[in-house]
Amino acid sequence: KAGVTQTPRYLIKTRGQQVTLSCSPISGHRSVSWYQQTPGQGLQFLFEYFSETQRNKGNFPGRFSGRQFSNSRSEMNVSTLELGDSALYLCASSFGQGMNGYTFGSGTRLTVV
Amino acid sequence: AQSVTQPDIHITVSEGASLELRCNYSYGATPYLFWYVQSPGQGLQLLLKYFSGDTLVQGIKGFEAEFKRSQSSFNLRKPSVHWSDAAEYFCAVAPKAAGNKLTFGGGTRVLVKP
């Protein structure tokens, strides 16, 4: 079956702009989580959605937001981009509580110039 | 707050030699434990996971990990490393309570010498 699909793979944006990233989970997976990966901070949890509800949130400013649709697809949005937002953004999906593991997509590489 | 420590930032091993990557966690109760591998420019691939039961867990690509409650450790091992094992390895924990949130260690980059 198809894995976790993230689009686009690469993005270049200018400071102050906003960006929307998309994640399509594995069919049947209702939980979608987002992570930011940077060389300095490593992998950090952004938020998790389950059945269209945000269930967990990490320590990121309000400029980072997300949502989940009824088909479990998820989007995350970053407004007023800063240079420090340049990162690999990873999406992971899970069937339930994670005891089956979390499957990650290949990520979206965002560069802010 | 929970934390995950991978003490070794880089490890260099010869092809065919054994590999052990260390992971220690700090958590109120035994969480779910995972090891992931990441190749350059790629996402994370699950190697293995521990939830309960047998403390020695077998994973993909010939990897295994041992959970030691007394040491709050979950070390990853492979008896004989192949050049294709060169990658970055991440240990992660997740709470058993409701919700899915992985906390990752800083990663260990493995270099394989021919």
Tens digit of each residue's pLDDT (9 = 90 or more) over A13-52: 999 999 999 999 999 999 999 999 999 999 999 999 999 9
% of chain B beyond a pLDDT of 70: 98
Any CB–CB contact under 8 A between B53 and chain A?
A: no
Whether the pLDDT of residue A96 is over 80: the answer is no
Based on C-alpha coordinates, what's the Rg of chain B?
14
DSSP B9: S
* Chain B residues within 8 A of A99 when measuring between CB atoms: 32, 49, 51
Instruction: Please tell me the predicted confidence (pLDDT) of residue A42.
Output: 95
Rounded Cα distance, B54 and B73, in Å: 14
- In angstroms, the first-to-last Cα distance of chain A is 37
**Interchain contact, A94 vs B100, CB within 8 Å:** yes
Task: Name the nearest CA neighbour of B22 among B68, B100, B75.
Answer: B75
What's phi and psi for A68, nearest 5 deg? -135, 140
Rounded Cα distance, B34 and B48, in Å: 6
Rounded Cα distance, A68 and A79, in Å: 18
Q: Are strands B56-58 and B24-26 parallel, antiparallel or unpaired?
A: unpaired
Instruction: Please tell me the predicted confidence (pLDDT) of residue A95.
Output: 84
* Chain A residues within 8 A of B99 when measuring between CB atoms: 48, 50, 55-56
Q: Which of residues 8-47 of B touch A (CB under 8 A)?
A: 32, 34, 36, 41-46
Instruction: State which H helix or E strand residue A37 sits in.
Output: strand A31-38
Specify the residue for token string 């240079």.
A83
> Which of B34, B44, B105 has its CB closest to that of A90?
B44
How does pLDDT run across A47-82, given as a tens digit for each residue?
Answer: 999 999 998 899 999 999 999 999 999 999 999 999
Residue of B nearest to A30 (CA): B100
* Chain A residues within 8 A of B103 when measuring between CB atoms: 45
How does pLDDT run across B8-28, given as a tens digit for each residue?
Answer: 999 999 999 999 999 999 987
| Mean pLDDT value across residues B54-72 | 95
**Where residue A97 falls among pLDDT bands split at 50, 70, 90?**
low
| Mean pLDDT value across residues B31-52 | 91
Rounded Cα distance, B42 and A88, in Å: 9
Rounded Cα distance, A33 and A44, in Å: 11
Rounded Cα distance, A18 and A89, in Å: 15
Give residue ranges of A with CB < 8 Å to any B CB: 4, 6, 31, 33, 35, 42-45, 48, 50, 55-56, 58, 90, 92, 94, 97-99, 101-107, 109
DSSP A25: P
Task: Name the nearest CA neighbour of A21 among B87, B101, A13.
Answer: A13
Residue B112: how many CB atoms within 10 A of its CB?
Answer: 19
| Mean pLDDT value across residues B34-59 | 92
* Chain A residues within 8 A of B23 when measuring between CB atoms: none
**What is the distance in angstroms between the Cα of A101 and the nearest Cα belonging to chain B?**
7
**Interchain contact, A104 vs B103, CB within 8 Å:** no
| Mean pLDDT value across residues B60-85 | 96
Rounded Cα distance, B66 and B73, in Å: 8
Q: Are A72 and A66 in contact (CB under 8 A)?
A: no
| Mean pLDDT value across residues B75-95 | 96
Task: Name the nearest CA neighbour of B11 among B101, B68, B78.
Answer: B78
- Pick from A14-18, B29-33, B62-66, B103-107: least confident: B29-33
Strand, coil or helix: B73: strand
